[in-house]
Chains A and B, each alone.
Chain A
């Protein structure tokens, strides 16, 4: 758009301090603002314990920006399991003995584990929670836990360093960054799909002409070869979606969360 962008990080509430403000943005006064909304974290609005007043419709979603699938990984050389199949078999034979490091309840990483525990009969693991990936990686590399749930983009360097070994990608198709790693669906037949998604939104009720200006600019930026190369180098998988396609993915994500009901799994 030819104007400088001023980035403001609003901390607090796992994103909800900012998102609560975004849902109240004024279409005229705040028409210069764009916000980032993360999936599935924003879907904690479905958790009845949080008593959120917002719904997905409270936000004026513009575009889907990127989608980084979840993966499960183990230590290289673990004598108990080296493949996804062996891991599942071991957990089934030793329920609640294997410990997985994951991000906090309600995160994409936790959602994948909660789905497996709910729909894969006999699959029960213990979970150690963290608020970031560093703690998780330290735990699994230090042999304090047995496996880790994370995202492809963040973990590829550890696979390249041959310290961790990916066993599943939690998507229906294999990740281009890890083509040799099977999906959870391939191994178990269960559609366990979990990812970290990033979307962009603007003020609710904004005039369509202004909305279109933003959307065109975002599309141009995401399709810029230089930007694409930079994101590819950082293993951040870009994915541009708008309008009906965008809402289809949002609703799929919502259905998944409603199906898993992580707040019940956390009890």
Chain B
């Protein structure tokens, strides 16, 4: 029934206002997403006042277009400069930037664009056709599942620790330790805040990402030959259209990335930042002789880029159907939905189907528009990799400071970002793993709160409680397999 309903509203999307809204949303999302610190939620929030002038469906099309493009835009700076624009593009910086350094920036952008656009489209189709049943599934995820999803994510630390497993694990533990800073939700106790009001919220993800990746990268570029460039070549190939052969080469990586994104999307609060790492670790565990993970392996990039846009559509499922936003961007869109007089929930599908399905179609079309605009934008942005390091390095550091302050209006966060930046720079030189620290910071609170919630709801018997829940048991099996495949010696090692 939902499927027939969905198709009957297809024509509604084809008005000039809706197309204009998609175009504006995509362009704003791409530009803001590409600047470290300026995140998709900020782009959406900036567009809300503009949306007041439009009817509800057009207004929401503007915002969901901004969301989809913002996630993809974050990958530009991650791939070209190792300065992720969003938390959902951090993992793409690992393989993407290594490809750029080896003069393969355009290939990385090609794969990223294909993975993101098709991932967004698949996710959009799932949103359009399966939203109500998927929303029910999202309710199955409770404390034990959140705890286990976080543990599964943490197993990725072993995979991203190229070179030294011990140093990778120490990095992960450092990240977990940093995630314990701030006021404890369960007791209200200020943990490790040293009476500093700026530490009461703990370490936010964005300053950590900007510091560990972007600012540290700025410092690294300032070292050595200032006249050299990032890509090490003088000219870039302009063959921006994806080749069938290279897509065929990464087909299974793309598939796994998209699936990871779709599944993680329906779990409220998990989102792209977790999905990327799970997809990336999955690829590394399946590495074959000849694969060069950590040195610009295209399969790793295909998986991370597929997963973060695979999340976008399905993360809107619990928001539209249950009124439960799956992440910050969805929460801002939910606020806008209500400002426009629409109350989320199944009633919306009954009372205003023309609005809800038009928005969903708009999301789908926005992904197509995004692909075309991105290809032309990518050409311009890839030029950055030809600029002298002595110019790009300081520029990245300046944007890191501006972006951090602009996203929070909080000077404490700028200091925190600088701390992560300088710390990340030296830790990288010592072969520690910034990605491990970041994983600890992202997943630490999910694991801690999940475990404490689990102990509460299980009435003190967590193990027997977990074993009665099918999704939890499946997750435990995934964790065991992940650890096994991460630690087993590879024949070609």
List chain B residues, Cβ under 8 A from A145: 457
Q: Which of A122-176 contact B (CB under 8 A)?
A: 126-132, 134-135, 137-139, 141-145, 157-158, 160-161, 163
Q: A157 contacts B323, CB within 8 Å?
A: yes
Determine how close the nearest CB of chain B comes to the CB of A106; give it in whole angstroms: 5
Q: From known contacts A12-B410, A137-B324, A138-B318, infer whether A49 and B190 are also in contact, taking CB-CB under 8 Å.
A: yes
Cβ contact within 8 Å between B188 and A49: yes
Determine whether the beta carbon of B412 is less than 8 Å from that of A17: yes
When chains A and B are docked, how far (Å) is the Cα of A141 from the Cα of B400? 41
A-B contact list, 15 entries, CB within 8 Å: A10-B408, A10-B410, A49-B190, A51-B195, A128-B143, A129-B185, A135-B269, A138-B138, A141-B322, A144-B453, A157-B344, A233-B341, A262-B188, A263-B188, A266-B186
A134 and B197 in contact (CB under 8 A), knowing A10-B408, A142-B142?
no
Q: Which residue of A lies closest to B269 (CB)?
A: A135
Residue A117 CB within 8 A of the other chain: no
Q: Chain A residue with minimal CB distance to B183?
A: A14
Residues of chain B within 8 A of A132, CB atoms compared: 331
The CA-CA distance from A161 to B190 in the complex, in Å, is 38
Does B139 make an interface contact (CB < 8 A)? yes
A: number of interface residues (CB 8 Å):
48
| Closest Cβ–Cβ distance, residue A193 to chain B (whole Å) | 20
- Tell whether A47 is near chain B: CB-to-CB under 8 Å: yes
Q: Report if A10-B186 is in contact (Cβ < 8 Å); known contacts: A144-B142, A144-B143, A157-B344.
A: no
Residues of A within 8 A of B139 (CB): 138, 141-143
**B200 at interface (Cβ–Cβ under 8 A)?**
yes
Task: A20 to B412: give the CA distance in the assembly, Å.
Answer: 13
Least Cβ–Cβ distance between B140 and chain A, in angstroms: 6
Q: A99-B456, A99-B457 are in contact. Are A12 and B324 (CB under 8 A)?
A: no
Are B187 and A105 in contact (CB-based, < 8 A)? Answer: yes
4 additional A-B pairs beyond A138-B318, A142-B139, A144-B453, beta carbons within 8 Å, are: A12-B201, A12-B413, A134-B331, A139-B143
Q: Does A1 contact B (CB under 8 A)?
A: no
Q: Mark A52-67, 1 if CB is under 8 A from B, else 0.
A: 0000000000000000
Residues of A within 8 A of B143 (CB): 128, 139, 144
Contact yes or no, B409 A11, CB < 8 A: yes
* Cβ–Cβ contact B268 & A12, under 8 A: no
Q: Do B345 and A129 touch (CB < 8 A)?
A: no
A144 / chain B contacts, CB cutoff of 8 Å: 142-143, 453, 457
- Distance (whole angstroms) from the CB of A228 to the closest CB of chain B: 15
- Judged by a CB distance under 8 angstroms, whether A121 is at the interface is no
* A126 touches which of B322, B325, B339, B456 (Cβ 8 Å): B456
Residue A104 at the chain B interface, CB threshold 8 Å: yes
Most B CB within 10 A of own CB, among A97, A104, A267? A104
State the CA gap A131–B182 with chains docked (Å). Answer: 13
Q: What is the bound-complex CA distance between A163 and B343, given in angstroms?
A: 14
CB atoms of A13 and B201 under 8 A apart:
yes
Residue A16 CB within 8 A of the other chain: yes
The CA of A106 and the CA of B269, in the complex, are separated in Å by 23
- Tally inter-chain residue pairs, CB-CB below 8 A: 130
In the assembly, what is the distance between CA of A131 and CA of B341, in Å? 25
Interface of A is mostly: mixed
Q: Is the CB of A134 within 8 A of B268?
A: yes
Chain B residue with the shortest CB-CB distance to A156: B343
Would A13 and B345 be within 8 Å (CB), given that A47-B188, A138-B268, A234-B338 are in contact? no
Q: Give the residues from 439 to 456 in chain B that come closer than 8 angstroms, CB to CB, to chain A.
A: 449, 453, 456
Q: Which residue of A lies closest to B200 (CB)?
A: A13
Q: In the complex, A97→B459 CA distance in Å?
A: 7
Distance, CA A13 to CA B416, complexed state (A): 14
B324: min CB distance to chain A, Å: 5
B352 to chain A, nearest CB (A): 13
List, in ascending order, chain A residues with CB within 8 A of B201's CB.
11-14, 17
> Is A194 an interface residue when CB atoms closer than 8 A count as contact?
no
Task: Tell me the complex Cα distance, A12–B183, Å.
Answer: 11
Contact of B188 among A157, A160, A266 (CB under 8 A): A266
Q: How far is the CA of A157 from the CA of B351 in the complex (A)?
A: 13
B141 CB–A CB distance under 8 Å? yes
Residues from 181 to 240 in B contacting A, C-beta threshold 8 Å: 183-190, 195, 197-198, 200-201, 204
How far does the alpha carbon of A44 sit from the alpha carbon of B186 in the complex, in Å? 15
> By the criterion CB–CB under 8 Å, are A105 and B188 in contact?
yes
The residue that A17 contacts in the complex, of B198, B318, B344, with Cβ under 8 A, is B198
A134, B324: Cβ atoms closer than 8 Å: yes
In whole angstroms, how far apart are the Cα atoms of A47 and B187 in the complex? 12
CA–CA, A99 and B322, complex, Å: 21
The verdict on A8 contacting chain B, using a C-beta distance below 8 Å, is yes
Residues of B within 8 A of A3 (CB): none
Whether B243 is near chain A, meaning CB under 8 Å from some CB there, is: no
Asked if A11 and B141 make an inter-chain contact with CB atoms under 8 angstroms apart, the answer reads no
Chain A residue at minimal CB-CB distance from B201:
A12
Q: Which one of B186, B339, B456 lies within 8 Å of A105 (CB-CB)?
A: B186
Chain B residues whose CB sits within 8 angstroms of the CB of A129 once the complex forms = 185-186, 449, 453
In the complex, which residues 125-158 of chain B have their Cβ closer than 8 Å to any Cβ of chain A?
138-143
Asked whether A158 and B323 contact (CB < 8 A) given A12-B408, A142-B141, A144-B143, the answer is yes
Instruction: Report how far A11 CA is from B293 CA in the complex, Å.
Output: 37
**A residues in contact with B185, CB < 8 Å:** 104-105, 129-131
In the complex, A138→B140 CA distance in Å? Answer: 9
Contact pattern, B 246-287, Cβ under 8 Å of A = 1, otherwise 0: 000000000000000000000011000000000000000000
Query: With the chains together, A106 CA to B343 CA distance in Å?
Result: 29
Once the chains bind, are B413 and A11 in contact (CB under 8 Å)? yes
B288 at interface by CB-CB < 8 Å: no
A128 near B457: Cβ-Cβ < 8 Å? yes
- Is A50 at the interface (CB under 8 A from chain B)? yes
Once the chains bind, are B200 and A16 in contact (CB under 8 Å)?
Answer: yes
Asked if A9 is at the interface of the complex by the 8 Å CB criterion, the answer is yes
Q: How far is the CB of B155 from chain A (nearest CB, A)?
A: 24
CA distance A142 to B338 in the complex (A): 23
Contacting pair A11 B187 (CB below 8 A)? no
Residues of B within 8 A of A99 (CB): 456-457
The 4 closest A-B pairs by CB, nearest first: A105-B188, A144-B142, A142-B139, A13-B200
- Chain A residues near B463 (CB, 8 Å)? none
B347 at the interface (CB under 8 A from A): yes
Residues 105-125 of A at the B interface (beta carbon under 8 Å): 105-106
> Which residues of A are found within 8 Å of B409, using beta-carbon distances?
8-11
Q: Is the CB of A139 within 8 A of B142?
A: yes
Chain B residues whose C-beta falls within 8 Å of the C-beta of A104 in the assembled complex: 183, 185-186, 188
CB distance from A105 to the nearest CB of B (A): 3
